[in-house]
Structure 1
Amino acid sequence: MRTTAKVTAAALIGGTVLMGGNAAQAGAPPSDEAAAQKAASSAAAQQRLGQFFVHLDQHQRGQLTNQAVTPAAIAAKAPTLEGDVHRVYSLNPEFVKGTPNAPAARFAYMAVGAKSATGQHATVWLTKSGASWTIMNVISGSEEAVYPAKADGGMVFTEPQIHAWYRLKDGRVTALNDTAKTSVAKGVTVGSYQKLVHGRYADKLPGSAYQRSGKLGGFSPTTGVSDRAPDRGPAPVLLALGAGGVVTAAGVALARRRRTPDSH
């Protein structure tokens, strides 16, 4: 399986990655896709993307990424969006807990792919701030833009702790990438999937002894908690499953090894 470095814009330029309750919303009106697309197409967004691609070059050369970026360097990247904005859904902590009638996943953010004139790919994450959509993060690669487009009449969601992507359709959870295949094989019922994630994460949600202990180990799709997997880098903090979780990029390794989208 080919892997690619996924670099958060927050890590590159000192921002903050919001996860969980702060980023999650109960839903978003259909018109919000168009508004988010407009925000991602703005001159300010193109400027930020150009800077991101330049910083990505610097990072890949082993250089510091806090250097000033010239207008000419940004212009040379000539970033363009790829495709439409899609909603990204993420595993719901209430579902993990076993709350009756809780949906398996909840809306987290909008995402749209982007590319540079030099062949780099990135994904723009957008969240709503008041009445407007704003860029929350930019990461290299295209998972968050590609997989949500595979809904096929269902709902695509991610289990971010193991970088798994699933489709929920007709009461079954099926895999969209290799990690998800390891987790649910050829597919499971929603009830079976709930038992699976309850076993993995129910004792590690915000407020748990696990969180208070400061443990941030990685997760295996088959065994639950494990030592940090070397090809995944820093494991997603479990606060990503809870309300108010904030993951700050400071002190976190710049590059995470992440799987590229499979063709399904």
Structure 2
Amino acid sequence: MTSERTRRGARLAAGSAALGIGAALFAGYGSAMADAPPAPAPSDVAAAQRVAADRQTTEKVARYFVRLDRHRAGQFTAAGVSKAAADAKAPTLDGRVHPVYSLNPAFVRGSYGSAEVATFAYLAVGARSATGQQASLWLTKGARNWEVTNIISGTEETAYPAKAGTGTVFTEPQINAWYRLDGDRVTGLNEAARTSVGARGTTLASYQALVHARYADKMPGSKYVREGRLGGVTPNTGVRTGDGDGGGVPGIALIALAGGGLTLVTGAAVRLGRRGRASASG
């Protein structure tokens, strides 16, 4: 397993790089997120849970865990996975479905009170292999049903939403920060978030001013985008960007969230993420 020190460095490195691609993330998904629907109804959650528990999903997760082993061993990951190797992973789901909320571009563009801080992005379900690996499945609603559109190593997408309590947990994916909004107070749940808003957090109004300064001039249609500077310039945000501990530069994951981990995108390649890189399909 990757050490906590390496994970921490990778996340901070991801924050540095993701600030440079923040505009790309908003440009790729911003308008859709601004008009995102509310959290799914209980019937949708139940439907998503059935999809996550489906045999085909279990097989996909098993293959993912095999490829994760290959990646961590520095091996080529795109080769096929034998049935025996997949069966040995025997993945199980934790059974809980968590709605994940993400920073709302309308909140970034507007002023305090003009929009909700975050909008629903996807449902997350945790998975564990028989050999102790952990991953999060992302589910989004397609034309006819919920679909597993992403698998990512680690537990952030399930662990942090479980800490909502009386508030709302949301992510600022551009810097891999997780926050809780409770009343008018935004507090950090992970190191990136605490670096962003301080150990004691900040007011919602101050947070709005912070993300407006970070991203408002990098939204679709901005001069930053028109000049083709996506990923080429890291804005001066005052956020600490790393501790020299290494870590990968994040790729743009499906549904344009710079979330974490080794990412398996359905029907595509495993992409670069917080804690690793590999190439595989299916």
User: Aligned partners of 1:150, 1:219: CA distance in 2, in Å?
Assistant: 31
Determine the structure 1 residue equivalent to 2:148: 135
Determine the structure 2 residue equivalent to 1:215: 230
User: Aligned partners of 1:225, 1:77: CA distance in 2, in Å?
Assistant: 38
Alignment of structure 1 residues 181-200 onto 2, 5 Å: 181-185=194-198, 186-200=200-214
Task: In structure 1, list runs of 5 or more residues that go unmatched.
Answer: 7-16, 242-247, 259-264
User: Aligned partners of 1:224, 1:207: CA distance in 2, in Å?
Assistant: 25
Q: CA deviation at 1:218?
A: 8.0
The C-alpha deviation readout for 1:118-172, integer Å capped at 9, x for no partner, is: 1111000000012411001001111111101110021100001111000011121
Q: Does 1:76 align with 2:94?
A: no
Aligned residues: 242
Asked if the contact 1:39–1:45 (Cα under 8 Å) also holds between the matched residues in 2, the reply is yes
Q: Does 1:85 align with 2:97?
A: yes
Q: Does 1:125 align with 2:104?
A: no
**Which is richer in strand?**
1
Q: TM-score, normalised by structure 2?
A: 0.75
Q: Does 1:3 align with 2:10?
A: no
Q: CA deviation at 1:214?
A: 3.6
Asked if the contact 1:200–1:225 (Cα under 8 Å) also holds between the matched residues in 2, the reply is no
Task: In structure 2, list runs of 5 or more residues that go unmatched.
Answer: 12-24, 258-263, 277-282
SS in structure 2 of the partner of residue 64 of structure 1: coil
Alignment of structure 1 residues 102-117 onto 2, 5 Å: 102-117=115-130
Q: Does 1:254 align with 2:268?
A: no
Measured on the aligned residues, the alpha-carbon RMSD in Å equals 3.4
Q: CA deviation at 1:253?
A: 6.2
Q: Against the structure 1 CA distance between its residues 195 and 130, is the aligned structure 2 distance closer, same or farther, given a 3 Å change threshold?
A: same
SS in structure 2 of the partner of residue 2 of structure 1: helix
User: Aligned partners of 2:241, 2:229: CA distance in 1, in Å?
Assistant: 15
SS in structure 2 of the partner of residue 138 of structure 1: strand
User: Aligned partners of 2:150, 2:269: CA distance in 1, in Å?
Assistant: 17
Asked if the contact 1:162–1:219 (Cα under 8 Å) also holds between the matched residues in 2, the reply is no
Q: CA deviation at 1:98?
A: 1.1
Asked if the contact 2:186–2:203 (Cα under 8 Å) also holds between the matched residues in 1, the reply is yes
Moved more, 179-188 or 103-112: 179-188
User: Aligned partners of 1:251, 1:48: CA distance in 2, in Å?
Assistant: 13
User: Aligned partners of 1:126, 1:182: CA distance in 2, in Å?
Assistant: 29
Q: Against the structure 1 CA distance between its residues 232 and 67, is the aligned structure 2 distance closer, same or farther, given a 3 Å change threshold?
A: closer
SS in structure 2 of the partner of residue 144 of structure 1: helix
User: Aligned partners of 2:162, 2:30: CA distance in 1, in Å?
Assistant: 21
Alignment of structure 1 residues 31-180 onto 2, 5 Å: 31-98=43-110, 101-180=114-193
Asked if the contact 2:251–2:273 (Cα under 8 Å) also holds between the matched residues in 1, the reply is no
Q: TM-score, normalised by structure 1?
A: 0.80
Asked if the contact 1:162–1:221 (Cα under 8 Å) also holds between the matched residues in 2, the reply is no
Asked if the contact 1:217–1:235 (Cα under 8 Å) also holds between the matched residues in 2, the reply is no
Q: CA deviation at 1:37?
A: 1.2
Residue type matched to 1:47 in 2?
E
Q: Percent identity of the aligned residues?
A: 51
Q: Against the structure 1 CA distance between its residues 116 and 180, is the aligned structure 2 distance closer, same or farther, given a 3 Å change threshold?
A: same
**Which is richer in helix?**
2
User: Aligned partners of 2:167, 2:97: CA distance in 1, in Å?
Assistant: 17
Q: CA deviation at 1:22?
A: 5.2
User: Aligned partners of 1:93, 1:105: CA distance in 2, in Å?
Assistant: 8
Residue type matched to 2:130 in 1?
A
Residue type matched to 1:233 in 2?
V
